[in-house]
Chains A and B, each alone.
Chain A
Amino acid sequence: MSLKSLDPRINRMNLPDGELPPMEPKAAFDQFETFEVFARKRDKTPFTYAGPVHAPNADVAFLFAKEQYSRRSACSGLWVVLTRHIMVSPYANDDENIYDSFEVEIPEDTTWPLESYEVFHLKKRGKAHTHVGRIGATSYQEAYHKAKAAFAAEHPAVNMWVVKSKNVLQSAEEDRDMWLTLPEKKYREPAAYKVLDRIKKFKEEEEQKALTK
């Protein structure tokens, strides 16, 4: 016996009916590694944390990220980073600046040349990390110190993330037409539905009917 459904397509699948033995637990990495995604609404606005995706590699992560985080709202650029490439500071209270209480030592054996790092700040718990700038450093620790000197006063933060620029997969300027798909899909906007007009017309007709009776 196969499972009976109201949907003919499900009937055609011939799914087994009745109790099945439990499925073997899914293996580790069946759902792949985690990546973090940053999106920019418009050209001039900073990249802001959108959320995670799971993917087998950065290119696929980018595709998933585009679907997940730019499908429904304005977007003019995406950055994708493997989660384990991000260095994270502790979290401070909302009324504190993390740079005031957190110290790191710069390792002695750091070597030149400088590498470029991207710095993200969380202004308030529950909000999203925002890109505050780029700095050159020889280690994550040094990047933290330089970020503190460069951004702590102007952009107080409860938490900061730092990541090597080379580990950020960035959408390219020449591909920018990939962000132009939103306007064709007006049917996903609440404003596309003129339901109140229809209700009003219905009520008027009902009133008319009642009167002519």
Chain B
Amino acid sequence: MIPGTGPGTGPGPGARTGTGTGTGTGTHRGLLVSRRWIQAALLVAVFGFFVMGLLAVRTYTAHPPVPRLVADDAGRPLFTGRDVAEGQRVFLAAGLMQYGSVLGHGGYLGPDYTADYLRRAAAFALRAHGGGDGAREQVRQEFRANRYDPRSGVLTYTRAQADAFAALTEHYRAYFADPRTDRGLRPRAITDPARIHRLTAFLSWTAWIASAERPGETYSYTNDWPAEPLVGNTPTADTVVWSVVSLIALLAGIGALFGAVGRWGGHLGWRGRQAASVDFRSPDEVALTPAQRATAYFFLVVVLLFLAQTLLGGATEHYRADLASFFGLNLAELLPFNLARTWHLQLSLFWVVAAFLGAGVFLAPLMAGREPRGQKALAWTLLAALAVVACGSLIAEGLSIHGLVAPGNFWGSQQFEWLDLPRVWQILLTGGMTLWAVMMWRVLRTTLRSDSRGNLPSMFFLSGLAIPGVYAVGLLARPGDVFTVTDFWRFWVVHLWVEDFLELFTTVMVAYMFVQLGVVRERVALVVVYLDVILYSAGGVIGTMHHVYFSGEPVEHLALGAFFSAMEVVPLTFLTVEAWSFVRLGARQQAESRTPFPHRWAVMFLVAVGFWNFLGAGVFGFLINLPVVSYYEIGTGLTANHAHASMMGVYGMLAVAFCLFALRYLIPSSRWPDKWAKVSFWSLNVGLAWMCFATLLPLGLMQLYEAVSAGYFEARSLAYLTGRAVTMLEWLRLPGDLLFIVGGVLPLCWIAWLGVRHRGREAAPDPVTGATPAPRLSDVREPVDAS
């Protein structure tokens, strides 16, 4: 037991103090909760990943074919399968997936090139057949008929389709050779005729899978996406039916949840420590370990990356509000829209991840009670590695978009949206996160050995390990592979990271923060963690498929994705209920502690996380989650609305909470700028709410209306996006954005700078082992009859 925790600390695990799991007792600690929790969590996770395994197999066996050769009806070759793969590389390397999209996935300023090709080709064919109703029917039949011969691997285009291909090659040649920048692209973005040919081949293939019927079915490989009347694409029966089923699943899930909360609610959730009193240690009394002190530099890097990310976001937004000029400057020469957006997205991942890693380095010694020698050097290595990866990959993306690197180059070009960084950097980043996992292991080794595998330290370590693990899955998406397959693996990273493992890791970290502060019992925290694993995995794992309804996957991906992702909303409802009641935890301790609670703003940021989890992820996520909504909505403003409210609202606010938690101990109390933490809290939250409610939500609703009434092609057109009503909405977000950056991010920079300047007080290492004892954050006084 930790000495000095007062009299009467009772025997048995239930009575352990909350201030660290402690080591050095030499005894093995048993599982703090019922074995049932582990069994249930394992069952749910194993089931989820078993189904994901099946879906992976189906992805490989049922993806749309890439023909060996595409020829016209006279057998003359138009393009080959290699051209399609190469064309995809060209598309990615030029950063076009951060400008427009294919199959609905990518940026939202440019067109969806699948819908674009399909509309233009079908319109061309219609004209070629002389217009009129007969011609319409003929076009519809020509585009829907599947003329791919699996034995020879040859796909035959009709004369009209072949002529359309030639015409569109010319169209895209002129489009990408444009010397002006008024579309937000680099001038003369792609000029090499061979590349244009391949690029057009790739786009033509995506349009083919969007219109040709899957063998044996009456809908196309993409479940008849996009909506295109010329080729008879409308929502399919599956799209509608599974939307209804998923709605029922949501309602039933929420009903079951509230039933369960009513029945067992007393046992769930964060409950404050009863019948004990806690004295929070003043930050000035907390002496830090060397690596904890080094995290000051992590948090400085975090806020600088955050600042850069928001400034690039401002530039990205400026393109949407005023495409042609940047206050008189021709910005697109140097920083075209797609480069600004690439950096904006990559940095959003980098700063959040850096904050999580830094917080892990800070928290681990608290869990273990000590920090081994050499941890500081590793922390610096990790930070240096992250800095190199961040700078190196951003530069590589710039070079690639400026056409200075060959498409698909291992060192210099990948550019899938969200997995933009070239493969070598992707591997290095995975390596960096693995180094971090090793660091966690070094600190926690003894604790893990002397504790049950089902207790918090193991949960922390395992969920931490999952972060590089899931990220590494992204390596399975290679720029030249079939797009459907790459999209499947890409969303393992994009979705499983944020909607499953990060949520889980977060819960463990927050649980630990409160356990360390002595306000929640470890046992209670552990129950919450298990509940989280179960609830998030139940919907979140298979729910990944809500991203690939229309990516060329067979229909079971759509069905299962719709059903299970609806369940994802259930824990969000619950966790909000729970987050609001976890807020009760501080109350008692406040009243009883003789010292002030040091984490006012970290806790307020966690309150904000609860709010945005419900609104941004739950409400705005579900808004676009039904297949029939997604069918019209994918790649439009409502996705941006959801993405900002959830990414920034949940993970951004959380990262800030972690930073402030650690910085509180790095900055002496007399220097702690409480006022600036407050300004930042209000500015970030009001700024984000402004962004969503003043611009993104109304814009998204208008665009959805346009997509259903006029057509998806129209809703994604530049003409629509630069219309006057849309432009007005885009400008309306300016005050919110300014508030966010100036009032929200700059104060954080100042606080992080103070952290680096002071870096806390260093604890003395043990002269024998060289390890440094970790500080305690509070003193818990247990009464005699605690249980």
Q: Do A and B bind each other?
A: no
